[in-house]
Amino acid sequence: MGELRMSMLVDTFNRAHRDLRVSITDRCNLRCTYCMPPDFSDWLPGDHLLSVDELLLVIEVATEQGIENIRLTGGEPLVRPDVVEIVRRVKALPLAPKVSLTTNALRLTELAQPLADAGLERVNVSLDTLDRERFKTLTFRDRFNDVIAGIEAAQRAGLTPLKVNAVLMRGINDDEAIPLLRHSVANGWNLRFIEQMPLDAQGSWERAEMISAAEILELLSTEFDLVAVPTRGSAPAEEYTVDGGPMTVGIIASVSKPFCAACDRLRLTADGQIRNCLFARDETDVRATLRDPSITEAERRDRIARLFTASVMAKLPGHGINDPSFIQPDRPMSAIGG
């Protein structure tokens, strides 16, 4: 691993920020039930989405402040026609960060190789079922085969280790925990289960319905020999070797066992708002600065850097999902960038 660059984005709890999740669009070609309703129409106005030049400027300033990892997300990042150009230009920055992408894989068959050629390092693919009919029910689109083909294309293009994220829902796909892991191990996918979070557009999350990390671990342990891999640093997943390894499975207990104390992430929404937490109630507007015609380019950069610092300094110690006073953010996951 390379030496860590000095991060200037250190918050009041001494957390150094090195990871920026950049949502490049809120649009999507699926309608996963835990994310947005089938008739979702509350899209961001097109002219609010940041252009490639605007994205690049924000990312460049962030790298100068110590950001080392950029994860492109959405919405579905691959529906943005200029996604390959975005990756190529981020990788060409003077302080080029590592670039990865979270995707539903629908467009990976055609884009995996161009993205790899542009310098993309890895992809995380979201897949909650191995059953084509169930996939249709869960996403409102009959595109299961495209996901599998997309994953294979990513592996051929060397976008590895390929991580697959799955959300288990009670009575809906929780019977697939074991088959999903068996299939992942056999196909070289690094599977990670993520606890369902209160981030759906329709606000229908219920704690009692959530399948907890402890429950997932118990379920998987009936079939596999799982041994915890020590030290996870700022990585959110608790990793376990499966049947002696080398394959591992991750369990991300965002709700039941938050990892806020080690959080090193910031987020940029597709419409140019910095968020210091997925669950933040406040955002820091960078779009207005990007589009302010009255300032010089040097002033613009300086102001963007200050906005990042201000956002980091206002970061709370934790997301508070477990507090009685918790209020779900106004924006759904698709607009924040998961």
Binding site for ligand SF4 (CB under 6 A): 28, 30-32, 35-36, 74-76, 104, 126, 334
- Across the beta sheet with 265-268, the strand order is 226-228, 238-242, 248-252, 190-194, 163-166, 122-126, 98-103, 69-74, 19-25, 265-268, 273-275, 284-285
Nearer to ligand SF4, 31 or 301 (CB): 31
Asked if residue 102 binds ligand SAM (CB under 6 A), the reply is yes
Asked if residue 104 binds ligand SAM (CB under 6 A), the reply is yes
**Residue 27 Cβ vs ligand SF4, minimum distance, rounded to whole Å:** 9
Give the C-alpha separation, 150 to 156, whole Å. 10
Q: Taking a C-beta distance cutoff of 8 angstroms, is the pair 312, 14 a contact?
A: no
From the list ligand SAM, ligand SF4, none, partner contacted by residue 73 (C-beta under 5 to 8 A by kind): ligand SAM
* 51-80 residues near ligand SAM, rule: CB under 6 A: 73-74, 76
Nearer to ligand SAM, 66 or 150 (CB): 150
From 98-106, 129-137, 183-191, 277-285, give the range in contact with ligand SAM by CB under 6 A. Answer: 98-106
- Rg of the chain taking only CA atoms, in angstroms: 19
CA angle 263, 35, 122 (to 5 degrees): 55
Asked if residue 28 binds ligand SAM (CB under 6 A), the reply is yes
Nearer to ligand SAM, 9 or 147 (CB): 147
Side-chain half-sphere exposure of 262, counting CA atoms within 13 A: 12
Asked if residue 196 binds ligand SAM (CB under 6 A), the reply is yes
| Polymer length in residues for the chain | 338
Nearer to ligand SAM, 194 or 286 (CB): 194
Q: Which DSSP string corresponds to 202-221? A: T----GGGBPPHHHHHHHHH
**Residue 227 Cβ vs ligand SF4, minimum distance, rounded to whole Å:** 30
**Residue 71 Cβ vs ligand SAM, minimum distance, rounded to whole Å:** 10
CA separation, residue 315 to residues 22, 58, 163, 278, 333 (Å)? 18, 19, 28, 11, 19
Nearer to ligand SF4, 36 or 67 (CB): 36
**3-state class (DSSP) for residue 332:** coil
Nearer to ligand SF4, 23 or 184 (CB): 23
**Residue 75 Cβ vs ligand SAM, minimum distance, rounded to whole Å:** 6
| Near ligand SAM by CB under 6 A: residue from 63, 103, 139, 173 | 103
16, β-bridge pairs: 10
In the chain, the amino acid numbered 7 is S
**Residue 95 Cβ vs ligand SAM, minimum distance, rounded to whole Å:** 25
Give the C-alpha separation, 236 to 255, whole Å. 11
**Residue 44 Cβ vs ligand SAM, minimum distance, rounded to whole Å:** 14
Nearer to ligand SF4, 185 or 194 (CB): 194
Give the C-alpha separation, 122 to 143, whole Å. 22
Give the C-alpha separation, 188 to 311, whole Å. 38
**Residue 192 Cβ vs ligand SAM, minimum distance, rounded to whole Å:** 9
From the list ligand SF4, ligand SAM, none, partner contacted by residue 36 (C-beta under 5 to 8 A by kind): ligand SF4
**Number of neighbouring beta carbons within 10 Å of residue 152:** 16
Binding site for ligand SAM (CB under 6 A): 28, 34-35, 73-74, 76, 102-104, 126, 165, 167, 194, 196-197, 199-200, 333-334, 338
